[in-house]
Amino acid sequence: MDILVVGLNHRTSPIELREKLAFSQEETQQAYEKFLDHRLVREVMVLSTCNRVEVYSWANTGGEKRILSTLQELKGVRKEELLPVTYVYHGREAVKHIFRVASSLDSMVLGEPQIVGQVKDAFEQAMASEATGVILNQLMKKALSVSKRIRTETGIGESAVSVSYAAVELAKKIFGELDRKKALLVGAGEMAELAAQHLVNQGVAQLVVVNRTFSRAQELAEKLHGEAAPMENLPQELVDADIVITSTGAQEYIITRDMVQRVMRERKMKPMFFIDIAVPRDVDPQVERVENVYAYDIDDLEQVVEENRKRREKEATKAERIVEEEVENFLHWLRSQEVVPVIVSLRNWCDEIRKRELEKTVSRMKLNGEEAKALEALTSAIVNKILHPPLSYMKEAASKGEGEKVARLVKELFALEEKDEHKDRDQRQ
């Protein structure tokens, strides 16, 4: 038995194939039934996001082929399409990969926070479907705790690495809290919309959308829980705005230095922050020469993003060390599981002998309740002391990777498999 990862992601496969293999919640439920309808796969979990489709399992030799053939069957994908873009990890490498995924070290955007929620949701569905057991439950709980530890002990998620979010981070540096600030979105470009959404998420007090096509402004304003205004109202809307995001298709500046100087006089020189994400630019670069005006264009934001990306990469080095440490901790636990069934069987066998012999002695000697309890405690202590050295040896052997060999030896020495078979037969009868 081994931990196994079979999957593909944004690095190995095109989006067209990832779309074909993506699982909805209903499809995942059906997939669990298919994966587990065979003794090769004992436990399984599917993680399906826009950037990856991965199957985590606790499986026997041959589990890899079973998972691949099931994916082909469920999704109607040819073997020739699937195999060249699929990666497979076993044992230690599988555990490490899962920890890196949950910690956003394997994401398209290093340190992005969404993946941990996606992993948690997938794990909860797998548990609810009774597709996981002792091994995967422990593995995924550990993966989530590793992710939390990395977020706590490193700064991997602290610096903005998208242009839209970098813009919001700069606004927060200038204004501090945004809950009393008014934002103005000029145009309806995708990045500007994302920046506006980030502002809303950060609690900006009010958002107004201005666009040449008023119906589009109304549509976007409704989506962002803001208000719409026609383009001719731009000068007046600027007076009330603390943060201005522009992303139009204009071929010349729509916000000039003279316009901003007039606006600042009406604002009594209260600070203004311009985020120009348009190419060509919407905001005259000379605007920044006006007192209390801060203006950033796409190149400025890209520079901030690049600096932050380098900072995250530096923090990722610390995160990788944490992953390595936690992989070893988990593998130590996993190796100990190799001897657990044998330890339980040996303990049960010894305790059954103890109880039978104790029952004979108590009935023959006609002991009272207190005397029987004392003898019960005595025999339990004797058995525990006798078992302590061999059980400790088994656990130590397991920690060194020799658990399977020692477990087999103990089963043969005490004929435990034979005893378990007799017990199962007696219970069935």
Residues marked as catalytic: 50
Q: Identify the CA nearest to 264 among candidates 246, 282, 241, 232.
A: 241
Cα gap 405→2, rounded to integer Å = 16
What sign does the dihedral 26-29-34-35 (CA atoms) show? positive
Beta carbons of 92 and 327 less than 8 angstroms apart? yes
Half-sphere exposure of 70 toward its Cβ, with a 13 Å CA cutoff? 26
Beta carbons of 121 and 25 less than 8 angstroms apart? no
Give, as one character, the DSSP assignment of residue 106: S
Beta carbons of 327 and 96 less than 8 angstroms apart? yes
201 burial type by CB count under 10 A (0-12 exposed, 13-18 middle, 19+ buried)? exposed
Cα gap 245→231, rounded to integer Å = 14
Beta carbons of 227 and 206 less than 8 angstroms apart? yes
